[in-house]
Every structure is written in C-alpha cells, then in structure tokens.
Amino acid sequence: MGSSHSVFSEQELNDYQDLTYFTKKEILHVFKRYKDLYEDSADENTKKTSSLNKDKILKLPELKVNPFSDRIVKVFSSSGDGNMTFEDFLDMMSVFSDGAPKNVKVEYAFRIYDFDEDDMISDQDLKEVVDRLTGEQKLSKDEMQQLIDNILEEADLDDDDSLSFAEFEHVISKAPDFINSFRIRL
C-alpha cells in the first residue's frame, strides 16, 4: 500500500476523494485491483495513466460472470469503446460502491440497460436484457413477447412502447432490493 501511495500526488488523491464516494484508502485499494489486471510488469505510473484493454478488464472476477459486463464497461469508458483508464475504473467502482446514492445508481443502471443508446429503453432493449438474464436457456418468442408486454403495461405510462428515464426511475425507486443488488464490492 505504501508504494502505491507515492504514485498519486496529494492533489490527485484529494480530487478523487472529493469526486467519488471513496476514502483515500479505498482509492488505493481500487488502484491495487486495477494494477493486478495488467498481468505484466509495466511500472505503476504507466498503469495509472494508460488505458486498459477491455478484454483484460472483463477478467475481473466481479465482472466476469455478470451478463451485462460489456455494457458496464462501455458506459464507464471515456473513450467509448470499452477500454478504461484508471480514472474510469475508479468512477465505475465508485458508482457501484455502498456510498453512492440511489439516484446516481439509477441513472447509470438506465444507461447500462439502454443497449442502443437512444436514451430510451425500447422493447428491443428489454428483449436483450431478458435474454441475457436467462443465460443459456431462452424463452420462446411468445413468452418473451408476453413478458415484454407485461413490463410495458406496468411501467410505460405514456404508451410509447419504451421506457424513458422518468418511467424507469419511477419504477426502480420503489424496488427495495435494487440498491442491494446493484452493488459491487472490491
């Protein structure tokens, strides 16, 4: 831990502490996990500034089994292609941590589930979500359609066959288990 501390200047650590939901110690811990993903012996400063390839990030145990891992990585990647710098990684872990308030998590959850990135969760997006959730077995076409219809019936209030952020937030805020499940601890 001590060596990692010298990689970051005091200013940087303060900034990170102010702008994320982590304490300084936690930030250093996150950096340690990030470094371990590199699998090579580049020095720490390089690791701090350079961008890590998407494939390597997806090897993180917490993300490996997650069916939405590629979306998560894409949303938080500043270059938009899934490669993450340390700051992106830190941002991601901060949002998934216990300290992040619910509204922040809801916003990011919306972005993750919005596969076509049009700011609405359309029925295509929902189909994709369900597909990923069922794993190897798939629901039949009729069943899928019925499920989507049920969802839209419950949540879609302006009848445009897709969920806007307001509708999404309205539903998800009522779900007590959301905060517990939308969390990754490093």
Partner 1 sequence: MSRDPRGDPSWRRQDEAVEMSQINPGYLDDSIGRDPNHQVINMDGRIPLDRRYSDEGTGSGHSWARYGSARDAAELISELPSRQLDRLVSDTGKSIRARRKSQKTALHGSLRGFPHTHRPTNDLTNSMARNEELMDELDGDIRTNEVLRGMSSHHLTDKRQIKHDVSEKRKERTLSRKKHHEKLGTWKHMKYRVGMTWIHFKNNLKEFGYSLELWKSLMKKVEGHFGTGVTSYFLFLKWIFLLNIPVFILTFGFVVLPQILFRYNQPATTVTNSTNTNATSYHVSFSGEELLTGGGWFNDTELYYGYYTNLKVAVPLSNSIKYDMNISKSYKKNYVEGSSTTSFYNVTRVLCGWDYNITSKQASDLKHKSFYNEMKEYLAGKGKKTKEKELSDSCKWFFIRVLTNLIVLGMIGGAGYLIYYILDKNLSESDVHIIGELTMPLVISSIHLVFPFIFARIGSLENYEKPKHELYIGMFRTMLLKGALLGILVSYWFRRLPGSVYCWETKVGNELYRLVLIDFIFILGATFFLEFIHKVMANYCCTEKLKEPEFDIGRNTLDLIYSQALCWFGTFYSPLLSVMMIVKLFILFYVKVVSCLQNCRPSSKAWRASRTHTIFLGFLFFFFLLTTVAVAVSIITIKTNVGTYYMRIVMVGHKEMVTLLRHQLTMEGKDKAYLLRKLQKVRSKKKEKLVQLGQGPGRILSGTAGLREPPEQGGKRIFTRKLAETASASMENLAANGNGTPRSRRHQKK
CB nearer to partner 1: give 55 or 143.
143
Give the number of residues in contact with partner 1, rule: CB under 8 A.
84
96 binds partner 1 per the rule CB under 8 A = yes
* Binding track over 37-66 against partner 1, x by CB under 8 A: ------------------------xx-xxx
Among positions 5-24, residues that touch partner 1 (CB under 8 A) are 15-21, 23-24
| CA dihedral over 155, 157, 158, 159, signed as positive or negative | positive
Within residues 148-177, the interface with partner 1 by CB under 8 A covers 150-151, 154-155, 157-160, 164-166, 168-177
Looking at this protein, which amino acid is placed at residue 1? Answer: M
**Which of 40/174 has CB closer to partner 1?**
174
DSSP state of 52: B
Q: Under the criterion CB under 8 A, does residue 103 sit at the interface with partner 1?
A: yes
Judged by CB under 8 A, the stretch of 2-10, 36-44, 132-140 that binds partner 1 is: 132-140
Interaction between residue 119 and partner 1 (CB under 8 A): yes
Can residue 87 be called a binding residue for partner 1 (CB under 8 A)?
Answer: yes
Q: How far apart are the first and last CA of the chain?
A: 15
Closer residue to partner 1, CB minimum distance, 31 or 182: 182
109 contributes a contact to partner 1 by CB under 8 A: yes
The residues, ordered by sequence, that sit 6+ positions from 56 with a Cβ below 8 Å of its Cβ are: 37, 38, 39
Secondary structure E strands in 99-183: 121-122, 162-163
Closest by CA position to 60, among listed 32, 19, 91: 32
| Contact between 71 and 81 (Cβ < 8 Å) | no
Give which of 127, 57, 113 is closest to 85, Cα–Cα: 57
Q: Quick one: 2 or 40, whose CB is closer to partner 1?
A: 2
Point out which residues pair with 122 in neighbouring strands.
162
In angstroms, give the least distance from the CB of 35 to partner 1.
17
Residue 163 pairs in a beta bridge with 121
